Every structure is written in C-alpha cells, then in structure tokens.
Structure 1
Amino acid sequence: MSIGDVYAVASVPDCYYVDVGLYGRTEYGSVYVCDTKRPAVIDTGLGTNPEHILDALDEVGIGPDELAYVIPTHVHLDHAGGAWVLAEETDATVLAHGAGVKHLVDPERLWAGTKAAVGDRIEYYTEPEPIPEERITALEGGDEIDLGDRTLDVYHAPGHAFHQAIFHDAGSDAVFAADAAGIYVPELDRVIETSPPPGFDLETVIEDARTIDALAPETICYGHFGPVSAEGRIDEYVEATKRWVEAVETARAEFDDEDAMVEHFRERADTPDVWGERSAAGEIRMNLQGVLRYLDERDERT
C-alpha cells in the first residue's frame, strides 16, 4: 500500500478508502469515500495533501459538483483538517456533531490546541480556514444521514472527544468508528489505545466501545487505519485501554516528569518499528497527556 492508493471496502458496497499519508506514513490515516446516490466523504485527513482525496473522488467517478456530504467524525485535525478544503473544492454540505461545529466555523482555538498537543509534528499540519456556517449542518446522536441508497445512523461517542460521532451502516453491518474503537495497526494486526487530551475519559470510552459492540457490526472502518473484521476488536480495545491507564498511573508514581514517562513507554513500545521513532513518540506523549489529565480530574473528584 502506498500513500494515495484507493481500495474498495470489501464488505461495504460502493465504499472505498484512501491512504492520506498521515504524518508522511503509510497505513496511518484513512478517509472513506461512499459512491452512493448522495456521495459522501467520511473524515478528511490533515488538509495538507487534499489531492489524495480529490484524486480518489475522481478515480471513483464523483465530480466536485456531485459530492453531497463531507462528514468529519470529529474535529480533531487528523480527521477534520481537510474539511475546509473540500468545502471550497466541492458543493458538499459539511455534516459534523453539533458540539464541534463552532470549531469548524472559527478554528482559531482548535489550531492553538493542536499546536500545543502535537509539538513539533505540527509541521505536518495545515492551519485550517473557517467554513461558512451556512455550509455546515449540525448532527446529534439519533440522527440519520440519508445517502440515497443507504442510511448512516449517528451515535454520539464523547469518550475520546466531546465532539465525536460514529456512523452505523446497518445495511452493510459496518461502523465508521472514528477513534471510538481505538487505532488498528495493520502491520501488527492489533488494536491499541488512543487517549489524547483534553477529552479522554476512560469510563465514557468504554461506554462508546460497548455501543459499537452492541451494534454487532461485521466490519469496523477505522480512521487509523482501514476496514477490518470486527470480531474480537472491541474487547481487545477495551482491555488495551484499561492496561494503558493502569500503566500510566503506575508510571506517574514512579517518575518525576513527563519526558521520563514518555521515554519509559517508548522503550517498551513496538510502534516505533511501524511508524518511526518520531511519530510513535508523539503518539505516546499525547496518549500519556490525556491519561494524566484524566487521572488528575479523577483524583479531584474523589
């Protein structure tokens, strides 16, 4: 698989995914294209290489004036960073959970928060531009997205981010899971945790994962990365996340500072062999920061 390659989702008719080369890596960030009666793009990548999505639309046969919807699962910029570009380049309506709409209309705070969270990896990002509010329709849990020949049921999934939604294609037994089912690493054939700040909440993350499990999908379409059989993946994710939170809590008691904790976990991780040292360390730091914030808030409550 190479950056920019487009593949069919075998279990979902007329659905494709493109590797958008997140952080310059393959098999790290995927965007889905639904070639339905009302065509849609689910997630948009960083916005740094929008040509990968535009080329995918062209390859599938969807013209700029034919795209009906751009649907970021949440407004974290690795999922929504390209929404403004697609809004400019197509006639599509942007559909996003209502909690995130303000950040698409005025992305200044989102951009500042992203820079603080990702550190020197900000070089891979493009600063988002505002999307006119009249181009955006807010979604809420319980809504349905009518793609003409199929429907996506909307579920609010705030454990990873308060503005996150997942989409269930009941007719194809598939869930577009955003980050609510973790990160699937194809090279390792394993699901790992994703717990960035500021919104990570362990209990709600588990509730979101169990929501997906209750839908009993055949396929989970991961934003990171690609479609995979759902069998056993939710249990795998829940257990991985619990272990991660426990490990961070132990490390918090052992080490004096964040850098030491990052190094501790980096030495024990196998993701550097897949993503490279820099990207893996960046993910570890963000996941660590999210859990540390969660633990601090939990301690305050108790």
Structure 2
Amino acid sequence: MSIGDVSAVEGTDDTHYVDTGMYGTAEYGSVYVIDGDRTAVVDSGTGGDYDAIAGALDELGIESLDAVVLTHVHLDHAGGAGHLLQDYPDATAYIHERGARHLTDPERLVAGTKDAVGEQWSYYAEPVPAPEDRVVGLADGDRIDLGDRTLTAHEAPGHAPHQHVFHDPDSGIVYTGDAAGLYVPSEDAIRETSPPPQFDLDQARRDVSTIADLGPETLAFAHFGPREYDADLLNGYKRTLMEWVEAVRRKRAELEDDEAVIEHFVAHADESPGAEAWGEEKAEAEMRLNTRGVLAYLDRS
C-alpha cells in the first residue's frame, strides 16, 4: 500500500483501513473504518495525518460518523479524535476510562508525548480538546453498539494502563491497538513496542494471551494493517518481548550508563524488523523509544 490508500479488510465488505502515512512512512500507521448500521473509525492517527483519514471517509462515501473508538490515548492513536469530533458533530468518542480526561484536556498528554518522541513531534498536530459530553469512558467488558455489530472492550494494560483491545465477534476481528506489537507486512514479522513510562513486560505478555483467548480470525494491527490470525506468530511475540527486555537488561549491566545503552541499540536499529520498510529515521526513533521504555520498566521491577 501507499500513503492514503484505502483497502477492505479481507473477508469483509464494510470494514476498511487506510494507510495514514504516519511519521511520513508508508505501511506504518493504519486507521480502520466500519461502515455498518452505525459508522465508526477505530483509532484516529496523530492529527498530523488527519487528511488521509478524512480522505478515506470521503472515498467510502461516509458523510456522518457515529463513533470514534480509541484503543488508547497515546497521540499516535488518539491525536486526531478531536478533529473528527469537530468535523462530524454526531460522533461520540469511546476510550478507556483512565484516558478520557486526556481527550478533554490534552495539555499533560502533549507534554509527555513531546518528551517521549523528541524530534518526531514534527509529524503530530496539536490535538483539539474533545467536548466532555461527547466522550464515553469504558471499563473492561463494556460494549459499543454499532447496530449490526458490537465492539467489546478488553483490558490490555501492558503497553499502557489506558489501553483496550476491541473484539468484533461477528466479523472475527480484534482491533489490537499496540497490545500485539507492530506488524511489518513486508517481513510478516511482529516487532516489539515498549514505550515509556508505563510498559510492563509481564502484563504485555498476558495481553497477548487475552487476544488469543478471544479466538480471532483477523488481527487488525494499528501498526500496520490486518493480518489473518496465526497462533504461532502471535505467541512468538511473547518471546520477542522476553528477548528484547533481556537484551536491554544485559547491555545495561555491561555499560552501566543508560544513555550509552540507548545509543547502542539505536546504532543497531537497522538490524531490527521494520528497519528496511520504515527507513532509517523511523527505525532509529522507534528503537530509542522502546529502549527508554524497557529501562523505565527495569527501574520499577
């Protein structure tokens, strides 16, 4: 796919995804569009890639939007939510109850994101605060009624404590957010995501089991795109997480300087899944973020 392309999720005729061109990178960020009895998008990009999402809705002939469903409040998933609510006045945003306040007052979230992503902030847009009366906070097991289907929220706090995965049992789709890692289609591989400050290894591994226990037919990755469910591929992500954290742990013991640890892994970013597909800039930024997240996790544990 290329940036801005819209494709149907295989096996459906009313669920599509758009390559948002997140971070100026093709096949890195995807937003899903459900054109059912009630229309919905799942996740909303950084805000800086909003034109691709608006273009997808136009291409699909969707003039009224009912639901903006957010897997978590990180701004690469929720940054465009306020823009959507502004342009689609009938839409309601649904998000984990722990993240709802950041949609209505995003100041602290913006500050934290700028600290986490550094120079990559140039790919974001300042979020538009969401009206409180158009934000619904969700707890584990809550359902979003879309008329001809429901999306059920399931806690998945290993990546962030305000994350849900959403299960559409009628279509067999699980919208994974970042709970199943980052899928690289060109390599048919999943790479780790372990951002600061709240990544938790043990919980992240349990989140993978949560997804598997739902019995999905399709994993709808936010990064990037849908993939037919494969138990070996998904369970392999548990090993990937273990090996990644152990690698950082060992390098920290060897170097005894966290900045040196970060720079070591950044220097080897070109050896990681996704490096060739995403390009040097994004691969290095991803590695820096993930290493910082593991170091924070090691400090806590």
TM-score higher than 0.5:
yes
Map 1:177-192 onto structure 2 (within 5 A): 177-192=176-191
Aligned-pair CA distance for 1:277: 1.5
Aligned-pair CA distance for 1:238: 0.7
Q: Which letter does structure 1 place at the counterpart of 2:70?
A: P
Distance in 1 separating the partners of 2:60 and 2:17: 10
Aligned-pair CA distance for 1:218: 1.1
* Structure 1: 5+ residue stretches without partners: none
SS at match of 2:53: helix
Structure-2 change in CA distance of 1:93 and 1:270 (3 Å): closer
Q: Does 1:196 align with 2:195?
A: yes
Contact 1:153–1:169 (CA<8 Å) still a contact in 2?
Answer: yes
Distance in 1 separating the partners of 2:13 and 2:233: 22
In structure 2, the partner of 1:126 is 125
In structure 2, the partner of 1:251 is 251
Contact 1:12–1:174 (CA<8 Å) still a contact in 2?
Answer: no
Contact 2:179–2:204 (CA<8 Å) still a contact in 1?
Answer: yes
Distance in 1 separating the partners of 2:149 and 2:272: 41
Identity among equivalent pairs (%): 52
Q: Which letter does structure 1 place at the counterpart of 2:2?
A: S
In structure 1, the partner of 2:239 is 239
In structure 1, the partner of 2:83 is 85
* Structure 2: 5+ residue stretches without partners: none
Q: Which letter does structure 1 place at the counterpart of 2:163?
A: Q
Mean Cα deviation higher: 230-239 or 286-295: 230-239
In structure 1, the partner of 2:103 is 104
Contact 2:93–2:134 (CA<8 Å) still a contact in 1?
Answer: yes
Distance in 2 separating the partners of 1:238 and 1:12: 29
In structure 2, the partner of 1:31 is 31
Contact 2:194–2:291 (CA<8 Å) still a contact in 1?
Answer: yes
Distance in 2 separating the partners of 1:271 and 1:30: 15
Contact 1:183–1:192 (CA<8 Å) still a contact in 2?
Answer: yes
Contact 1:17–1:31 (CA<8 Å) still a contact in 2?
Answer: yes
In structure 2, the partner of 1:40 is 40
Residues 106-140 of structure 1 deviation map (CA, whole Å, 9 limit, x = unaligned)? 10000000000001111111121211101111111
Distance in 2 separating the partners of 1:22 and 1:246: 29
Distance in 2 separating the partners of 1:199 and 1:40: 28
Q: Which letter does structure 2 place at the counterpart of 1:74?
A: H
Contact 1:201–1:294 (CA<8 Å) still a contact in 2?
Answer: yes
Distance in 1 separating the partners of 2:10 and 2:23: 26
TM-score of the superposed pair, with normalisation by structure 1:
0.95
Map 1:1-302 onto structure 2 (within 5 A): 1-63=1-63, 66-91=64-89, 92-231=91-230, 232-266=232-266, 267=268, 268-298=271-301
Q: Which letter does structure 2 place at the counterpart of 1:238?
A: K
Mean Cα deviation higher: 261-270 or 93-102: 261-270
Mean Cα deviation higher: 135-144 or 76-85: 135-144
Q: Which letter does structure 1 place at the counterpart of 2:19?
A: D
Distance in 2 separating the partners of 1:177 and 1:117: 22
Contact 1:194–1:287 (CA<8 Å) still a contact in 2?
Answer: yes
Distance in 2 separating the partners of 1:242 and 1:259: 22
Contact 1:184–1:191 (CA<8 Å) still a contact in 2?
Answer: yes
Distance in 1 separating the partners of 2:85 and 2:185: 31
Contact 1:11–1:219 (CA<8 Å) still a contact in 2?
Answer: no
Q: How well do the aligned residues superpose, as a CA RMSD in angstroms?
A: 1.2
Residues 169-225 of structure 1 deviation map (CA, whole Å, 9 limit, x = unaligned)? 111111000001110011111001100011100111111110001111111000000
Contact 2:22–2:49 (CA<8 Å) still a contact in 1?
Answer: no
